[in-house]
Amino acid sequence: MSGIVDHSRYPMSKSPHTPPRQLGNGHGHTASPLKIFGHAKNKVNEIFKTITSYISESDAFLTGIPEGDNIVTREQLEEVKAFKGKVAGIGEVLSRDHMKVVFFGRTSNGKSTVINAMLKTKLLPSGIGHTTNCFVQVEGSDTHEGYLLTEDSDEQKSIHSVRELAHALSGVKLDSSALIKIKWPKEKCVLLRDDVVLVDSPGVDVSGDTDAWIDKFCLDADVFVLVANAESTLMQTEKNFFLRVSDKLSKPNIFILNNRWDASASEPEMMEEVRKQHLDRNIAFLVDELKVVNRQEAENRVFFISAREALTSRSQGQPGTPSPLLQEGYQARLFEFANFERTFEECLCKSAVKTKFEQHAQRGKTLSSQLRTIMEAVHEQSLQAKNRSITQRGETSSRLQFVSTQLDKLSSEIKDQIKLMVEDVENKVAKALNEEIRRLSSLVDEFDRPFHPDQNLLAVYKKELHAHVEQSLGRNLQAKCSEALLRAVDCTERDMTDRISHLLPEESKLQLLNSLPRRDFEIAYRLDCRNLCADFREDIEFHFSLGISSLVKRFLGPKCASRALRGYSNQIPPPLTPMTPMEPESYPVRQKNELMMALLTNFSSLASRSTVGAVVVVGIAFRAVGWQVVGVGLALYGGVYLYERLAWTNKAKERTFKRQYVDYASNKLKLIVDLTSANCSHQVQQELSSTFSRLCSHVDHTKADLEEAIASYNREAVKYEEFGNKAKLLRNKAGYIDTELNSFIKQYLKHDV
C-alpha cells in the first residue's frame, strides 16, 4: 500500500518529473482567494472614508444651524458627534484588519515547521523537543529586509535574534504569553502580501493558563489550525483547549493537520487503516464535541501532511524523484499540503471577510440609517420652519396693510374731528367774550382804587384798571370756557389714544400710555388791555348839561357836534350828488339832518361869536313873555348850573371816567373778539394735532417694526429653505452610502467568495 494515493483528492502531475515547487507550493495558481480580502478591504475602506467625510459634513452643517431656530435638537448634535468617534474607531480597525491564523498544538507537533513551509523559508525556530517558548506573530512588511519587534519596545531588532528570544533553549526566558512580532518582506511571501498574519504558539501542554492565551490572541483570529502528531492520537489537552476556544467564540474555523504523515511510508500496509482512524476521530471531535461544522464540511477540514517535506521541497527545490529527505509517497503529501493551503485560503478569506467586514458593514448601514433619519427630521423641521415664516410673513403683511389703511382712515376722521372741535371752541370763546364785554361796566365798577384827577396819579390808576380788567376777563373766560374746553380736549385725546391703541400690538399699548406725558393744557386768552387801551383819553372836565355845546352834542352826537362847533368855514361843501349810489328813501332823511345841523350851526356860531346875539335872544324873549318869565328861566337855568357845578366831585369824575373807559374798552375788545377766539381755537388745534402726531409716531414705529419683521421673515424663509435643501442633499447621500454598503454586502458577504 505504499504509494497508494487518492487521485480524486490529490490530482497528480501529468509528468513524473514535475518540479516540487509546482507540485505542492500552494501558490502556483494565479487566482488566489486571498485577493478577495484585499479587494473587500479596499472597498470597505473607501466606503468608510466616504462615511467619515459625510459625517464631518453633516456635523458641520448641523453645528452651523443656530440653536434658537429649533431645527436641530441637542440630542441629534451629540449623536452625530458620537458618530465621528465611532467611524474613526472603525476606520482605525479597518486599517489594521488582516486575516489572522493561529496555530496550536502540543509541543514538538511541528507548528513552527508548518508556518515555515507556508513561508517557504525556515524563519521560525523549529526542531525536536520544546522549541517555541512564546507567541510569534509573522506579518508582512513593505521593507526589503525583515526585522523583529517586542511588546516592550518599538526598536527594530535583527531577524536573527528570533532564535534567541523565541527558542526555549536560549538564555533569554520570555513569558509564555509574551508576543514577538516578525515583520517579514511581503515580496518574499504571497500570503503576507495578501494581509495574512500567522501566529505560532507554545505547546498547549506548556502552560495551564490557556484562557489568558485565548483572550489575548484568539478572539480576533479568523482560522485556527490544530497541528496534531499523526504518530499518536488526538490528545485530551488539545481537545480541552479548543473546547474553551469554542466556548468563547461562536463556531470558530478549525483545521486539523495530522503532521508527520511521512512516517506512514514505513508501514504502508497499515496506512489507510490509520488514516481512517485519525479521520474518524478528528471528524467526531469537530462535529460531535466542538459542533462547529457538519460531517461533510469536517472531511474538508482534516489533512494528512508532512510539514518537513513541504518545507524541504519549497526551500531547496528538490527534483521530482525520491531522495533521502523525501519518503516514498511524498508527492501525495505535498499535494495534500497544497490542498490544505487552498482550502485554508478559501476558508480564511470567507471567514476574514465575514468576521472583519460584516460587522463594520452593518454598523455602517446603521450609522447611515440613523443619519438619514436625522437629516429627514432636519429637512422636515426646515420645511415647517419655512412654512411658518411664510405664514407669519403673510400675516404680518396683512397686518401692515390693515394698519396703514386704518391709519389713513383714522387720520382723515381725526382731522375732521379736530376741525369741528376748533370751530366749536372758536364759537364758545367768542360768545363768552361778548358776554363779558356786555358786562364790562360791572367789572370796571368792581375796581376800587383811590381816584384823583392828577395826571400822574391818573396814569397809575389807569394802569391798575387795565390789569384789573385783563385779569377779571381772563378769569371769567376761564371759568366759563376753560373747564368745558379742557374736558372736550381731554375726551378727544382719550378717544384718539384709544383708537390708535387698536392699531398697536399689546406690548406697545403700555408703552404708548407711558410715552405720552400728562401735561395740564391751559388755554391762554391773551387779553392785553394795557396796550389795547393805550390810546384811551379821558374827558373829566366839567360840562354843563344845558350848555350850548352839550345841547349840540346831545342832538348831533359827538362827531357831528365837534364838527359843528368847529364850524364849516374850513370844510369843503359836500357834493350835491353822492359819490356812491343810495336808496331813494334815504335822501329826505339826509337832507333833513343836514338842514337841522346847518341851522344849529349858524345859531351856535352866532351866539358864540357875539354877545349881541345873547342880548338879542333875551330881548326877543323879554318882548314875547315878559321879564318875569325870563327872570324865572334864568334863575332856574343858573340853579341847575350851580347844582351841577357843585355835584362835579371826584366821585362824579370817577364815574364819568369809568363810563368813558367802559365805552372805549368795549369798542376795542369787540375788535379782538374774532382774533381772541381764533387764537384759542388755534391753541386747541395745536394741542390736538401735536397729540395725534405723537400717537401716529407710535403707529409709524409699529409699521417700521412690521416692515422689519417682514424682511426678517423673508430672510428666515430663505435660510430655512437652504437648510432644507442641504438636509435633503445629505439625506440622499445617506441613501447613496446605504446603497454602496448593500452592494458590498451582496458582493462579498452574501455569496461564496
DSSP labels, 136-175:
EEEEEESSSS-EEEETTEEEEEEGGGHHHHHBTTSS----
DSSP state of 325: T
Higher-pLDDT residue of 441 and 42 is 42
Q: In this structure, are residues 140 and 192 in contact, taking their beta carbons and an 8 Å threshold?
A: yes
Helix (H) or strand (E) holding 103, with range, is: strand 99-104
H-helix segments, 120-176:
162-166
Q: What was the pLDDT predicted at 9? A: 43
Q: What was the pLDDT predicted at 638? A: 80
CB count in 10 Å sphere of residue 36? 20
CB count in 10 Å sphere of residue 195? 19
Q: In this structure, are residues 99 and 197 in contact, taking their beta carbons and an 8 Å threshold?
A: yes
Task: Please tell me the least confidently modeled range out of 239-253, 442-456, 574-588, 689-703.
Answer: 574-588
Q: b/e per residue, 93-111, with b = 16+ CB within 10 A? A: ebeebbbbbbbbbbbbbbb
User: What would the grid cell of residue 652 be?
Assistant: 362824579
| Rounded Cα distance, 279 and 228, in Å | 12
Q: Which residues contact 331 (CB under 8 A, 6 or more apart)?
A: 5, 10, 12, 13, 23, 24, 320
Q: What was the pLDDT predicted at 584? A: 46
CB count in 10 Å sphere of residue 13? 15
H-helix segments, 567-649:
586-609, 611-625, 627-647
pLDDT bracket for residue 60 (50, 70, 90): very high
Q: b/e per residue, 692-705, with b = 16+ CB within 10 A? A: bebbbebbeebbee
Q: In this structure, are residues 398 and 708 in contact, taking their beta carbons and an 8 Å threshold?
A: no
Out of 605-609, 680-684, 712-716, the most confident range is: 712-716
φ, ψ for residue 226, nearest 5 deg: -90, 110
Q: What was the pLDDT predicted at 130? A: 58
619 pLDDT higher than 50? yes
Angle subtended by helix axes 74-96 and 34-64, to nearest 10: 160
pTM given for the model: 0.62
Q: What was the pLDDT predicted at 23? A: 47
CB count in 10 Å sphere of residue 689? 14
Mean pLDDT, residues 58-62: 92
pLDDT bracket for residue 598 (50, 70, 90): low
> Look-up: residue for cell 416692515?
707
Higher-pLDDT residue of 641 and 124 is 124
Q: What was the pLDDT predicted at 194? A: 84
Mean pLDDT, residues 701-709: 91
Q: b/e per residue, 295-310, with b = 16+ CB within 10 A? A: eeebeebbbbbbbbbb
CB count in 10 Å sphere of residue 726? 20
121 pLDDT higher than 70? yes
The one-letter amino acid at 252: P
Task: Convert the pLDDT of each residue in 521-569 to its tens digit.
Answer: 677 766 767 677 767 777 666 666 666 666 666 666 655 555 555 554 4
Q: What was the pLDDT predicted at 89? A: 83
pLDDT bracket for residue 295 (50, 70, 90): very high
Count the residues in the chain: 753
Q: Which residues contact 81 (CB under 8 A, 6 or more apart)?
A: 59
Q: In this structure, are residues 184 and 146 in contact, taking their beta carbons and an 8 Å threshold?
A: yes
pLDDT bracket for residue 573 (50, 70, 90): low
Q: In this structure, are residues 521 and 493 in contact, taking their beta carbons and an 8 Å threshold?
A: no
* Cα three-residue angle 199-204-209, rounded to 5 degrees: 100
Under DSSP, is residue 349 helix (H, G, I), strand (E, B) or coil?
helix
Mean pLDDT, residues 411-420: 90
Q: What was the pLDDT predicted at 448? A: 77
Out of 7-11, 161-165, 190-194, 335-339, the most confident range is: 335-339
Q: For the chain, what is the mean pLDDT?
A: 79
| Percent of the chain scoring above 70 in pLDDT | 78
Among left, alpha and beta (phi > 0; psi -120 to 50; other), residue 236 is alpha
Task: Convert the pLDDT of each residue in 195-213 to its tens digit.
Answer: 889 999 888 877 767 788 8
Mean pLDDT, residues 434-444: 79
Q: What was the pLDDT predicted at 320? A: 47
